Amino acid sequence: MEITASLVKELRERSGAGMMECKKALAENGGDIEAAMEFLRKTGLAKADKKAGRVAAEGRIAMAQSGGNAVLVEVNSETDFVAKDENFVAFANKVAEIALASGAADAEALKAAAYDGGTVEEARAALIAKVGENVQVRRLVRVAGDNNVAAYVHGGRIGVLVEAKGGSEELVRGVAMHVAAMNPQYLAPAQVPAEFVAKEKDIALAQMSDKDKAKPAEIQEKMIAGKINKILSEMCLTGQAYVLDTNMTVEAAAKKEGAEILGYTRIAVGEGIEKVKEDYAAEVMKQAGLA
């Protein structure tokens, strides 16, 4: 029997499963929609898509690395409980390995990559049915080349990639740990927008006491420059005190080994996702007719 678009659409509406899952179910059951529906129910894929609209702001960061090639993948769930589920953890780790091997450029490309005879997207739908929550493969970041690279994940919730020219593996991993802990906003002062620096100069000038404003212009400039340099050091990786040796900056630690930090990427689970705040007390009161 021919698997028509209308047949796939009907099965989607009845099951809530994805288009590819419905097409596969119909193909494996000779176009029999009832048999295909039963197949989807048995495999747990029915109704998986109906969870897709629910906010998934928890989850974990998984990494994979081979020499100078490394990836971080963020896979989201609705609750921290599911994020710790062994099925979810195994899925996230495998997706990271697939991301590294496939060379996928982003999360959308990754979803189409092969996963145990199917695709990552199909495996995701199957996992939704198993854990009972919305699951999303949200982000993929990668570094690839011949430089010294460290991939570091802290507690499954913060992931960092650091790329350096020269230096030891220990140094680059240490810098990755530093980035995870301190969350610098920029690599170096040269990357800070000029608008930000100008604004901080105006603020520093406005905060000057009358006594300082009476000093020569060149003295005022030096005072303002000192304040700006302190601000930039605190927000830039190279100027921050190195967490593994606070007696030196990250830049000094790198130079000690003849290394140069070329760049970094830091991602955290759920950042940028608006979480739904549940007021359970208000909900109970409402249902009880007391609100």
- DSSP string of 12-75, one letter each residue: HHHH---HHHHHHHHHHTTT-HHHHHHHHHHHT-TTSGGGTTS---EEEEEEEEETTEEEEEEE
How would residue 20 be classed by pLDDT, with cut points 50, 70 and 90? Answer: confident
Helix (H) or strand (E) holding 168: none
What pLDDT score was predicted for residue 148? 97
pLDDT beyond 60 at 28: yes
How many percent of the chain have pLDDT more than 90?
A: 58
What are all long-range contacts of 141-147, with beta carbons under 8 Å and residues at least 24 apart? 141/71, 141/72, 141/265, 141/267, 142/69, 142/70, 142/71, 142/72, 142/99, 142/105, 143/68, 143/69, 143/70, 143/263, 143/265, 144/68, 144/69, 144/70, 145/68, 145/69, 146/68, 147/68, 147/262
Contact by Cβ (8 Å): 47, 17:
yes
Distance of alpha carbon 251 from alpha carbon 232, whole angstroms:
13
pLDDT beyond 80 at 164: yes
Percent helix, percent strand, percent coil in the chain, to nearest 5: 50, 20, 30
What pLDDT score was predicted for residue 212? 81
Contact by Cβ (8 Å): 251, 164:
no
How many percent of the chain have pLDDT more than 70?
A: 87
Among 145, 178, 170, CA closest to 70? 145
**Domains of the chain from N-terminus onward:** 5-47 (1.10.8.10), 58-146 (3.30.479.20), 189-266 (no CATH)
Which tokens belong to 218?
A: 């060149």
What are 65-100's pLDDT values in tens digits? 999 999 999 999 999 999 999 999 999 999 999 999
| Higher-confidence position of 76 and 51 | 76
What are 263-282's pLDDT values in tens digits? 999 999 989 887 655 555 66
What are 167-214's pLDDT values in tens digits? 999 999 999 999 999 999 999 999 999 999 999 888 888 888 888 878
Which tokens belong to 232?
A: 């930039």
